[in-house]
Amino acid sequence: MEYGSDAEYFKMVKLAIEQFYEWNELFNEEIYSVVGFRMLYKNAI
């Protein structure tokens, strides 16, 4: 998420987070947990 100003990196992070949630379900364990951090960026496209 440290590349939040770059839309391509932001998209990759979003996909990775979705996959971590899938792992949580697959292993029935909280591998990934949300800590309350949010990053926003302005879409210039």
CA 31 to CA 22: how far, in whole Å?
A: 10
- Counting runs of H as helices and runs of E as strands, what totals does the chain give? 1, 0
Range of the domain at 20: 1-45
- Residue ranges in the chain assigned as alpha helix (H): 7-27
Q: What is the tens place of the pLDDT at every residue in 2-42?
A: 555 677 877 888 899 899 999 999 999 998 888 877 766 67
Q: What is the pLDDT of residue 20?
A: 92
CA 10 to CA 28: how far, in whole Å?
A: 27
CA 14 to CA 3: how far, in whole Å?
A: 12
Domain count, the chain: 1
Overall pTM > 0.85: no
**Backbone Cα Rg of the chain:** 12
Residue 1 has pLDDT above 70, yes or no: no
